[in-house]
Amino acid sequence: MVAVMNPNAAVSHPTTAAVACGLDDWPLHAQAQIVGLATPATDEQAHTLLRLLEVGFLPGECVRLTACGLPGRDPLAVRVGQSTFALRRHEAALIRVAPPAVTLAPAHHKVPGSSAHGQDGAVAAVAGGGA
């Protein structure tokens, strides 16, 4: 028995479920974010989902369809992370995607009276996460 993630567990915003669709229906060259995986109906689909998870098709990852075959858009070339995979439409249909979540770059909050420059004009180093 293969345990597969609940497709609704990765949905972080209620409106995401309304716009989610299978990766096989996503427009070419448009970025998407994986919001979940379909519930497998067969052992073959469960095996396919496990394989997709193992190679990086995880909820929260951004993906992009980079090319598709003719006729019928099969297979699909899909970019996830730094890798590109060829997926059949029935495999891509198991991956639920939505428009990427908007994430804002960290704002640089300036404390009144402070500066990133020391008294001698040198820029102070900012250590991320300590040490």
Cβ pair 32, 26 in contact under 8 A: yes
The confidence score (pLDDT) of residue 126 equals 39
Q: What is the pLDDT of residue 113?
A: 54
Find, among 38, 27, 98, the residue nearest to 65 by Cα: 27
> How far, in Å, CA of 18 to CA of 36, rounded?
13
Average pLDDT on 91-112 reads: 72
| pLDDT score, position 131 | 42
Tokens 């309304």 sit on residue: 18
Mean residue pLDDT across the chain: 76
Q: What percent of the chain has pLDDT over 70?
A: 63
- Type of residue numbered 108: H
Backbone angles phi, psi at 59, to 5 degrees: -55, 135
pLDDT computed for residue 72 by the predictor: 83
* pLDDT tens digits, one per residue of 46-56: 999 999 999 99
pLDDT for position 18:
56
Q: Which residues pair with 22 in a beta bridge?
A: 96
Q: What is the pTM of this model?
A: 0.64
pLDDT tens-digit readout, 14-31: 444 458 899 999 999 999
